[in-house]
Amino acid sequence: MKKTLIGITVVGKDKEGIVANFTNFVFERKGNLERVNQNVIKGLFGMYLEASFTKKIDIKRFDSDLEKLGKQLHMEVNTHHESNSQKNIAVFVTKEPHCLQTLIRAQTRKELKGKIAVVIGTENTLSGMAKKAKLPFVLINEKNQDKAEAKIIQVCKKYDVDLIALARYMRILTPNFVWRYPNRIINIHPSLLPAFPGAMAYAQAFERGTKIIGVTSHYVTENLDQGPIIFQDSFSVKPEHTLESIKRAGQKLEAEVLLKAVRMHLADKLEVRWRKVHTK
């Protein structure tokens, strides 16, 4: 029997009874819980529920009732409905062009089961690239990350974003944002995690005389660069390689690995279970 799957995210100030209220909401509507993940960091509560329904359900009424419950409990609630329709992608960028360029090229060649709906940048460096591809570009250069993320959330809602690709986006997303898009934010990191974390991975690898350098794509969690790994690839470092040639090779691989992860996600080939990504 065909099931209707609804993902529910709940974010707000931690308090008693939140989990019970939302699980009961699902049970009262004859739904089953496929998964429940919750976390609390510094008084901020985040939860993701995935509910399934075997009987026909009025989606609009479900969303409306859920929104009312959220308001009663002073929690921000959002739903995500799985469908076969084309998924909308938001690409977050700073100034490095290679990943955005590769994603745009893939879309032009119709290699994505989705579309880039918006490009969000922390600076204007890549606005021209986006505009040339006839993609909306939104500049959000707010220094305060909480204020920046409040604006980003509104943009993502406006463009009905299903998936976020961090294309060398050089800001750290907070749990308040990450929890709203569970297993729907993809990042890439140079080096085979967690050997060389942080922004200077290539320099660290070069200084340590690494013989193989890789790139990891992973889903983003509240733990920096520690999310479930989607795909990894690598290249050999030869004695004649300089730091600059390593960076060039690494950037090319970064774009390829990010594209592969995005394509796998859009094709519904990935499932996260027990903090591991399984390929369907």
Question: DSSP string spanning 39-81?
Answer: EEETTEEEEEEEEEESS---HHHHHHHHHHHHHHTT-EEEEEE
Per-position DSSP letters for 155-207, written without gaps between them: HHHHTT-SEEEESS--SPPPHHHHTTSTT-EEEEEESSTTSS-STTHHHHHHH
pLDDT score, position 195: 66
Instruction: Give the pLDDT band (50/70/90) at residue 149.
Output: very high
Percentage of the chain surpassing pLDDT 70? 95
- End of a domain among 63, 81, 99? 81
The Cα-based distances of 31 to 13, 22, 65, 134, 239 in angstroms read 26, 12, 14, 42, 60
- The more confident residue out of 57 and 167 is 167
Q: How many domains does the chain have?
A: 2
Same domain, residue pair 23 and 158? no
Bridge partners, residue 229, by sequence: 218
Same domain, residue pair 70 and 141? no
Same domain, residue pair 101 and 211? yes
For helices 243-266 and 98-108, angle between their N-to-C axes, nearest 10 degrees: 40
- End of a domain among 21, 48, 81? 81
- End of a domain among 40, 61, 81? 81
- The more confident residue out of 85 and 6 is 6
Same domain, residue pair 165 and 34? no
Same domain, residue pair 145 and 54? no
- Inform me whether the pLDDT recorded for 194 exceeds 70: no
Q: Which residue has the tokens 């609804």?
A: 6
pTM greater than the 0.95 cutoff: no
Same domain, residue pair 274 and 139? yes
pLDDT score, position 86: 79
Mean pLDDT of all residues in the chain? 91
Which CATH number characterizes residue 62's domain? 3.30.70.260
Which CATH number characterizes residue 186's domain? 3.40.50.170
pLDDT single digits (tens) 168-180: 999 999 999 999 9
- Inform me whether the pLDDT recorded for 221 exceeds 70: yes
Sign of the Cα torsion 276, 52, 221, 100 reads positive
Q: Mean pLDDT throughout 219-227? A: 84
pLDDT single digits (tens) 94-146: 999 999 999 999 999 999 999 999 999 999 999 999 999 999 999 999 999 99
- Would you state the structure tokens that stand for residue 260, as one six-digit string? 């592969």
Same domain, residue pair 103 and 120? yes
Instruction: Give the pLDDT band (50/70/90) at residue 263.
Output: very high
Active site residues: 225
> By residue range, what is the domain housing residue 62?
4-81
Same domain, residue pair 163 and 97? yes
Q: How far apart are CA 116 and CA 129, in angstroms?
A: 13
Same domain, residue pair 131 and 56? no
Same domain, residue pair 111 and 52? no
Same domain, residue pair 127 and 31? no
Same domain, residue pair 98 and 202? yes
